[in-house]
Amino acid sequence: MPSFPESSSFPEKADLYLLFEFLRFRSISTKPDHAPEMKRCAAWLQDLLNGGGFKAEVAETGGHPAVLAHGPKIAGRPTVLIYGHYDVQPDDPAELWTTPAFEPAIRNGHIFARGASDDKGPILAHILGAIRTLREEGALPVNLIFLIEGEEEVGSTHLAEFIRARRSELRCDVIAVSDTGMVGPGYPTLTQSLRGIAAMEVVVNGPVLDLHSGVFGGAVMNPATALVHLLSRLHNDDGRIAVPGFYDNVTPPTLMEREALAALPLKEADFQRDTGVLLLTGEPDFTTLERIGIRPTAEINGLTSGYQGEGTKTVLPSRASAKLTFRLVPNQTPSRVLDLVEIFFRHHQPPSVEMEIIRGHGGMPYTLDARSPWGAAAVRALEKTFGRSPALMREGGSIPIVQTFQDLLGSETLLLGLAPPGSRAHAPDENFPLENLELGIRLHQALLTELAVR
Ligand code: BES
Ligand code: ZN
């Protein structure tokens, strides 16, 4: 392992060593052939938790396993559930990484690896925080449960059923999650809302086989053309989503919400710089933070058809497909949004092609009341750890299980992010500041202390 500067904000060597080990697992949940690696990663977490004073199991869910662990029981204290995920996104495009995604490397005080900030670094900080408290104090201030799943990045498809089945064992007073962002390095952040999500794949089938585009082109509808026509209808020229009913019941932001977002230390110029785009665009009359945080969207995540190799090939492809996701805000539901989009696509479908619509995962949006007693405890813990009061953020990303926790367990979720801007989640060179491992450990300890006396 490389050497790193000694300072109070750097993690202990043993903790850093564990992060290296954790990051080496290629726990890519979307790839079926990675299932054995998922199991090994879950078993590693189980061993770590068992060795640290928890009773941990690798629990079958019907999909990739979840790790469930209970700390020592203490009567009269609240029960806190910490949720996180050990699965990660694929590393592709792998060639764009400075160092390989599953060979963690330290540069400029950051650890680079797939999953470093999303979510292995942050969830490990919670585990190590709990283990440190048990080692140093002999007891935790609350009853603590860890639920670390392996399917967050694919929509937590089996977790709701698992929670239903184990509901009595998962009963808790409050849930804490560090799987969101920070508004700046060293700037504590409590996330107030997450967007929901609905996924869909559209497959357009034309001729029974790929055709010579010179022999048949012009007389046979090209599925790629049909698909891009359909997809181009999703947005109006001004950037609004054109699907009738899409914005029904979406409440416009209040002046207070808009002011709060505008006051965050995140500026348009930062987004411009971080993304490298020529111009930031989106729904008219909304700022970038509003477009990301509180407005619904439609995105094409993947588009496939025809010849993709070097050079040219004069082919009229037999099929074309697109993967889409919609980000949802309060009063939208995945099933209704997918219904509306399907009706819209069917209405505009050319009669010359077949269209298959495959529905994917869905998750509800979530909003936290930061002024609840639990929210206030989280604010105090963030203040104590970072030495300044937290920003209240609205995140555009989704953690589908969070609203399900509310529905099935009746507990609210505190979202205490540890990933600063520049963490590059889902992108090449994903990284996590080393100091955030140590800060995350202390945040966990402060959080449990504050939740115990809330
Ligand atoms: N950690 C993210 C969620 C997130 C991202 C929160 C950015 C706040 C800011 C999480 O692991 C994630 O990426 N979730 C997926 C969920 C989807 C695959 C169902 C997402 O948002 O795309
Ligand atoms: Zn995550």
pLDDT digits (tens, 9 = 90+) for 236-284: 999 999 999 999 999 999 999 999 999 999 999 999 998 999 999 999 9
Q: Is the CB of 420 under 6 A from ligand 1?
A: no
Q: Could you tell me the pTM of the whole model?
A: 0.93
Question: Omega before 119 cis (within 30°)?
Answer: yes
Give the Å distances, CA to CA, from 280 to 20, 242, 289, 312, 391: 36, 20, 11, 33, 23
CATH classification (class only), 13-194+365-452: alpha beta
How confident is the model at residue 6, as a pLDDT?
A: 56
pLDDT of res. 3: 53
Q: Which residues contact 48 (CB under 8 A, 6 or more apart)?
A: 18, 127, 131
Low-confidence ranges of the chain (pLDDT < 70): 1-8
Burial 22-34 (b: 16+ CB within 10 A, else e): bbbbbbbbeeeeb
Burial class of residue 153, CB neighbours in 10 A (0-12, 13-18, 19+): buried
Q: From CA 141, how far away is CA 451, in angstroms rounded?
A: 9
361 CB under 6 A from ligand 1?
Answer: yes
For residue 311, the model assigns a pLDDT of: 98
Indicate the DSSP class of residue 349.
-
Cα–Cα distance measured from residue 56 to residue 45, given in angstroms and rounded to the nearest whole number: 8
| Domain boundaries defined on the chain | 13-194+365-452, 196-250+296-363
The reply to whether 13-194+365-452 and 196-250+296-363 are identical in fold is no
Q: What per-residue confidence (pLDDT) applies to 73?
A: 96
Preceding omega of 365 cis (within 30 degrees of 0):
no
Ligand nearest to the CA of 395: 1
Residue-level pLDDT at 15? 96
- Tokens in use for 388? 């300044």
- 21 token code pair: 């080990």
Q: What is the DSSP string of 403-451?
A: HHHHHHH---EEEE--B-TT--TTSTT-EEEHHHHHHHHHHHHHHHHHH
Ligand 1 in reach of 193 Cβ (< 6 A): no
Residue nearest to atom 18 of ligand 1 (CA): 153
CA distance 152 to 371: 28
Q: How far apart are CA 434 and CA 441, in angstroms?
A: 11
User: For the domain with range 196-250+296-363, which CATH number is right: 3.60.21.10, 3.20.20.70, 3.30.70.360, 3.40.50.1370?
Assistant: 3.30.70.360
Q: Which ligand is nearest to the CA of 328?
A: 1
CA distance 267 to 94: 30
Q: In what order do the strands lie in the sheet with 105-107?
A: 105-107, 110-112, 431-433
Neighbours of 61 (CB within 10 A): 21
Q: Is 430 in the pocket of ligand 1 (CB under 6 A)?
A: no
